[in-house]
């Protein structure tokens, strides 16, 4: 197995999904509902978030969907807001969401780079908040490529972001591993002709990821051992 580059999903992969995006949902819904808890809970159900339990439903649009898809879900319930205004608000709240690293990212990424691996990010988040999150973790400069759903390459599960990464670093897709916590990530990896690695720091269980993954790991910290580094 020759792997020369690794492309990571961001949320649920480099950062623990629940720790990050449950706080995002609470803050966003409270602001959208102007502090009305019942209204906030109703809006939570629209995007698949149980405000009282503080967790997402397994099929929540927030888990693997794009910002624009979340906006499309919320917009009918918020007739006083324009879609561009709602998009801006979601991006602001996303940028402020506290990030909990799945593993200590600086030594993890430096180890991969020291072994000659090229690194990239392909997220269904917007590119701007993704860069904020990576910068806050002190790892923005570890990546050769960063794409969000709005970067011009499409969104997962389509392979556009992944193929753009391969072209950018001039590495054949079969020598790249796509790492993610959702079937969107792994389906995109298969469509691009890459190796696929599922991780369990998101919402999806192992049996959901396994049909689309070459391997399912507890977290990204197990990747060096899988590669034999």
CATH classification of the domain holding 147: 3.40.50.1000
Over the stretch 133-160, which tens digit does the pLDDT of each residue have? 999 999 999 999 999 999 999 999 999 9
Based on the domain organization, do 122 and 174 belong to the same domain? yes
The pLDDT of residue 110: 98
Over the stretch 30-54, which tens digit does the pLDDT of each residue have? 999 999 999 999 999 999 999 998 8
Based on the domain organization, do 33 and 139 belong to the same domain? no
Q: Contact at 8 Å (CB) between 28 and 60?
A: no
* Residue 188 lies in domain: 5-16+100-227
Based on the domain organization, do 81 and 122 belong to the same domain? no
Based on the domain organization, do 199 and 107 belong to the same domain? yes
Expressed in percent and rounded to 5, the helix, strand and coil fractions of the chain are 50, 15, 35
pLDDT band at 201 (very low <50, low <70, confident <90, very high): very high
Based on the domain organization, do 139 and 202 belong to the same domain? yes
Based on the domain organization, do 104 and 206 belong to the same domain? yes
Based on the domain organization, do 184 and 209 belong to the same domain? yes
Based on the domain organization, do 34 and 106 belong to the same domain? no
Q: How many domains does the chain have?
A: 2
Residue 203 has pLDDT above 90, yes or no: no
pTM of the model: 0.86
Residue 18 has pLDDT above 90, yes or no: no
- Helix and strand tally (H, E) in the chain? 11, 8
Residue 55 has pLDDT above 90, yes or no: no
The pLDDT of residue 150: 95
Last residue of a domain, one of 46, 80, 96: 96
What gap in Å lies between CA 191 and CA 165, rounded to an integer? 14
């Amino acid at each position: 197995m020759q792997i020369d580059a690794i492309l990571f999903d961001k949320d649920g992969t480099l950062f623990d999904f629940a720790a990050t995006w449950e706080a995002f949902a609470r803050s966003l819904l409270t602001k959208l509902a102007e502090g009305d808890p019942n209204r906030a809970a109703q809006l939570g159900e629209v995007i698949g978030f149980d405000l009282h339990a503080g967790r997402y439903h397994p099929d929540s649009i927030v888990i693997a969907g794009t910002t624009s898809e979340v906006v499309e879900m919320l917009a009918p319930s918020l007739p006083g807001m324009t879609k561009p205004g709602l998009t801006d608000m979601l991006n602001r709240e996303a940028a402020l969401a506290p990030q909990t690293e799945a593993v200590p990212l600086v030594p993890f990424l430096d180890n991969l780079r020291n072994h000659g691996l090229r690194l990239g990010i392909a997220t269904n988040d917007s590119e701007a908040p993704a860069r904020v999150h990576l910068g806050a973790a002190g790892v923005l400069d570890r990546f050769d490529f960063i794409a969000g759903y709005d970067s011009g390459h499409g969104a997962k599960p389509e392979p556009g972001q992944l193929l753009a990464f391969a072209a950018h670093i001039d590495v054949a897709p079969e020598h790249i591993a796509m790492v993610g916590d959702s079937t969107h990530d792994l389906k995109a990896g298969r469509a691009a002709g890459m190796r696929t690695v599922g991780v369990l720091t998101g919402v999806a269980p192992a049996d959901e990821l396994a049909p689309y993954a070459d391997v399912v790991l507890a977290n990204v910290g197990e990747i060096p051992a899988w590669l034999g580094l």
